[in-house]
Every structure is written in C-alpha cells, then in structure tokens.
Amino acid sequence: QNVETALAVEQVVRDGGAVPATIAIMNGKCYVGLSASQIEQFGKAGDVWKVSLRDLPFVLSQNKLGATTVAATMRIAAMAGIRVFVTGGIGGVHRGANNSMDISADLTEMAQTSVAVVSAGVKSILDIGLTLEYLETKGIPVITLGQDAFPSFYSRESGFETPLRLNTAEEIAALLHTKWSIGLQGSVLIANPVPQEEEVPASEMETYIQEALAEAEKQRIKGKEVTPFLLQYIAQHTKGESLAANIALIKHNAAAGTAIANAIAHQQLRK
C-alpha cells in the first residue's frame, strides 16, 4: 500500500504540471527522485531506517536504506534547489515534552532551511499548542489554506486558530518570495486541511491517541520509535479509517504543493 500511495502521489504532481522528486537514501547516496522500481524496492525492504539529520552520516556511510524525516528531506531538497516539499504532517513538540524533552528536529530545521513545507498541519499525536508556540519562537510563518482553524492531520480542526490564513497558491507564492527576498531564511508551514469527506473528527481521534499513548508508555517505547508506534496503533484501532485519511491527505497536499510550485514558477517567469 505504501508503494501504491507513493506512485499515486507522484502522479498527482505530474497531472498538476510539476515534476515529482521523491527523496530517500540508497546505496550511500541521497536520491532526489526515484524510479518506480526503486520505490517498489523500498516497499519490499524489511530494514528501512527512519532518517533524521543526526542519522544521515551513519545511514549514508553504512549503505543502508533510509526513509527521510521532514528535517532530513528539507535539507536534501535545499541542496537540490527544490523550494516546495510535500508531506503528511510535520513532527513537533511531543505530549509530555516537559519531562521527555522530545522535540522533533523538524522544527529546528524549518527555522534555518528555506524550503516551504505543505502538510495537513501537525501530527495529532503531538502537543499542537506547544508546537505552534515553538514555530512562533523560531520565526516560522504558519499559514492555513482556506480556513481559520488550524488542522490536525486526520482532522480539519485542532482546537487552535491558525496564525495566518491565505486562500490561493498565488498568495502563498507571493509570501514565499517576499520572505526570502528580504533575507529571512527558513521555512513556511502551509497547513492544508484533509478533505472533509475523509476526515476523522478530532474528538474521535483523541480517544485513540490517548489509548495509543498509554500503550506506548506501558511498552516503554522511546525516542524515534514513538511516532511510528502511535500511528500504527491508531491505524489498527480505527479499522483503517485513519489510514484512509492519511492517504487522502497526502494526495491532497501533493495537489496543493504542485499548485504552489507552479505559482512560484509563473512568478519567476513574469520577472
């Protein structure tokens, strides 16, 4: 299903008139753009590393297969001159971070790398309020496309208002141009709410999240294993409802990211 989704997302980008470049680590190299057979290789492989910035040197030097986090993907995209990156949801401040200090490197990378990130908001398993505060501290603009509520991955609402709202890809392209042309480095988070017909209501999701967090605590799941464990637990216990939302939102984000990339290209042509 991961392979099928990845190929479908690439097709969404092509259909929108842009060039997809799926990023991954293979054969001791950072790949920017994968063939269909390489994507299938990832889908069949049993030992794929989750690679954030700290893991890059190890995974590259040991010739391991690596699926990159938002932080690592942004850094590689920036090296390749890519300005728009699409994902499901960003990492952030974990619930209970006052004790665990578990804060994703995605946030610090967004503060310094000038690649726009299109996502369905912040993963709902995280502390969304603290994540928004951290993004503000780091000077990262947070924009929601087309609504005043900030989305929470599977759900269109999170209980928080969006700091900023824009309604079109052209407006976002203009903001990106302005930010980077006045010397403000770093990302912009573009939150694109999951399609209404595919969302799982936030109140329903919260029940499953609390159960997943309790189970993670019971099993003593720590570090970078926490997020995959929680997402897998939720997918199993929502009988695939959350997985369907996940697939829908990544395709939806790909369409939005493609529109923004096209708007940036048209903007540059007009200069």
Cα 271 from Cα 260, distance rounded (Å): 17
Q: Per the confidence metrics, is the pTM higher than 0.85?
A: yes
String of b and e for 153-162 (b: at least 16 CB within 10 Å)? bbbbbbebeb
pLDDT in tens, the chain (271 residues): 789 999 999 999 999 999 999 999 999 999 999 999 999 999 888 899 999 999 999 999 999 999 999 999 999 999 999 999 999 999 999 998 888 888 999 999 999 999 999 999 998 899 999 999 999 999 999 999 999 999 999 999 999 999 999 999 999 999 999 999 999 999 999 999 999 999 999 999 999 999 999 999 999 998 878 888 998 899 888 887 888 899 999 999 999 999 999 999 999 888 7
**2-270: CATH topology:** Indigoidine synthase fold (3.40.1790)
SS3 sequence of 148-194: CECCECCECCCCCECCEEECCHHHHHHHHHHHHHCCCCCCCEEECCC
Nearest to 121 by CA among 94, 95, 144, 148: 144
And the tokens for 159? 């209980």
Question: Domain residue spans in the chain?
Answer: 2-270
